Chain A
Amino acid sequence: MNLPEENASPPPPADHRNELTGLPGLRSWKHVYLFVFACFVLWVLLLLALTVSYS
């Protein structure tokens, strides 16, 4: 079976606002991802502290 690809709906116009996060203190997406990663590390450390404190 060798099917042709259908015509796609036209892509939306480029929106430069998408590059902005709109978050105070976290201007680029790189900063947002670092913040999320830091939160993950913080949760793991808190859970580790709970484990160590009550084991």
Chain B
Amino acid sequence: MNFLDFVVLIGSLVAIAAYGAWHTRRHRNLDHYLRGDESVGWLTIGISVAATQASAITFISTPGQGYESGLDFVQNYFGMPLALILIAAVFLPIYRRLNVYTAYEYLGRRFGARTRLLGAALFLLQRGLAAGITIYAPAIILSTVLGWNLGLTIVLSGLLVIVYTVAGGSQAVNLTQKWQMAVIFGGMLAAFAILLIKTPANLSDDFAIAGTFKKLNAVSFSLDPDRRYTFWSGLLGGFFLSLSYFGCDQSQVQRYLSGSSLRESRLGLMFNAVLKIPMQFFILFLGVMLFVFYQFEQPPIFFNQAAWHEAVQNDPGQKLQSIEQQFDTASARTTHDIREWLAARHTGNRAAAAIARAKARADEDGVIAIRAQAEKVMQQNDPGVKSNDADYVFVTFILNHLPHGLIGLLIAAFFAAALQSKSAELNALGATTTVDFYRHLFEREASDAHYVAASRWFTFFWGLVAIAFALFANLVENLIQAINIVGSVFYGVFLALFLVAFFVRRVSGKAVFWAALVAQSFVFILYFSLNISYLWYNLIGCAACVLLSMVIQLFLRPNTQAPEAGP
């Protein structure tokens, strides 16, 4: 990066943050601070919901996933449109009718105070733990590639987001997210255009190459449970995951409750229901095009070059250097065979094209095997080495092949993505702590100004927790997976509280509260005694809590609580 890149990077990030803080610096009351003003339209809500979900990892790692595995990850989002329709039709009208600030207030109206506190505590625990990752994950990648100090990168980006989120509240989050998304998609589209220009083959050849190497297999109806992404797992798993995330997680609920009317909130959700699949397709397709590009351009054996050079220096048998030479030769051979195949394809010589195509596929299998061998040697030499090389593919392309200025814009886009999801998380953590704990338990009769000040302090507190957690994150091995496990262990019961509230009207607060505690204990026992994929705990926790609450209710008096809260 040169001076121009730094001007673009720092200028765009600071300008957006300053704009958000300045425009929203005066808040008359808690309603304005937590839900924004009355004029938030559906497009702002739609962008804000999308921005909250799309973290920096979405834009850094997803192209790498497209490069490595093709388009099949897009199936993960197949359940989302259906979940958003259900939320818009059932969840949202109830939230708005009850005029709540947080989703957990609804649990209070429906089941009583204990269940409300349980739901809010589950959210704070899970989102509070995840908060550090939103800053840490992109910082570790960008500081590795750019040679920046990791701690300084975390602290500066963390402080920037704290300043405008604390100052401007929910409206600042909405406002800045709009401009941050503009920077992100401006950068991504520019990178895509340059990628197309720099790839020597025409678009028809690009598709043929990607198809030959199985990068365009977007939909699979396979019933094989070992296959990670299929139409069925995406539709069912994605539906429940989206339902809990968009329907019960305050970081999302707060976004669409800031709409000026039910209509604006609903249209904001429908905007996401229509556009999320094509958006993910575009990001994955960018990765597929990176794969095609690197069929004509010599790729590095390991995109995380800092880790590679360190591994080569610490390789006593000099095996890695020899493997790198084999890799370079195999890559050059693949490029040669692809060129031969395309030449035969253009002249209409089908037999020659088929032979060259088969050779290119065999060459690529060899390239993959050599890469795997290199990773194995690196792991043998240093078991702690990070092997998630796909995260570095897009960043490497940006730094090596984009013009200066645009490099700064793309790095700004990654930081903007980190800031936009971070700001929504902090905003939600501050709101839940203020409304569901502080106002509810400790200070019931204070003025609005007092609650706004409290909300600011709690947002600031959670921002510091996130920075501290991010700074010490590298002490925990495989942290992202650890956070996902924590999320999955709690998310099932979390979702069940809301599903029972919305759809099982005869169940009382007492029944669901004890069912939640027993179901959560059951999930803990299973987690420590079984060895199954952690994703299953979402379904197990949810099903156990719903069923148990109905069984417990059979032994209690009929529910006479909160008649206004049912759907």
A5 to B208, CA, bound (A): 63
Q: A39, B78: Cβ atoms under 8 Å?
A: no
Q: A51, B277: Cβ atoms under 8 Å?
A: no
Chain B nearest CB from A5 CB (Å) reads: 6
A37 to B89, CA, bound (A): 13
Q: Which A residues are in CB contact (< 8 Å) with B231?
A: 44
Q: A47, B71: Cβ atoms under 8 Å?
A: yes
Chain B contacts with A in 123-165, Cβ cutoff 8 A: none
What is the chain B residue whose CB lies nearest that of A20? B263
How many chain A residues touch B (CB < 8 A): the figure is: 34
Q: Which A residues are in CB contact (< 8 Å) with B439?
A: 6
Contact with B along A6-19 (1 / 0, CB 8 A): 10111110010110
Checking A5, A36, A37, A55 against B108 with a beta-carbon cut-off of 8 angstroms, the contacting residue is A5
Chain A nearest CB from B269 CB (Å) reads: 9
Q: Which A residues are in CB contact (< 8 Å) with B441?
A: 3
Q: B274, A51: Cβ atoms under 8 Å?
A: no
Q: Does B198 contact A (CB under 8 A)?
A: no
Q: B114, A3: Cβ atoms under 8 Å?
A: yes
Supposing A44-B219, A47-B74 touch, asked if A8 and B112 sit within 8 A by C-beta, the answer is no
Q: Which B residues are in CB contact (< 8 Å) with A54?
A: 207-208, 210-212, 216
Contact with B along A37-49 (1 / 0, CB 8 A): 1011001100110
Q: Does B97 contact A (CB under 8 A)?
A: yes
Q: Does B266 contact A (CB under 8 A)?
A: yes
A15 to B88, CA, bound (A): 16
Q: Does B278 contact A (CB under 8 A)?
A: yes
Q: Which B residues are in CB contact (< 8 Å) with A5?
A: 108-109, 112-113
Checking B81, B85, B99 against A8 with a beta-carbon cut-off of 8 angstroms, the contacting residue is B99
Checking B100, B207, B262 against A15 with a beta-carbon cut-off of 8 angstroms, the contacting residue is B262
A20 to B267, CA, bound (A): 11
10 contacts between A and B (CB under 8 A): A6-B108, A15-B262, A17-B261, A39-B274, A43-B277, A43-B278, A47-B219, A51-B218, A53-B216, A55-B217
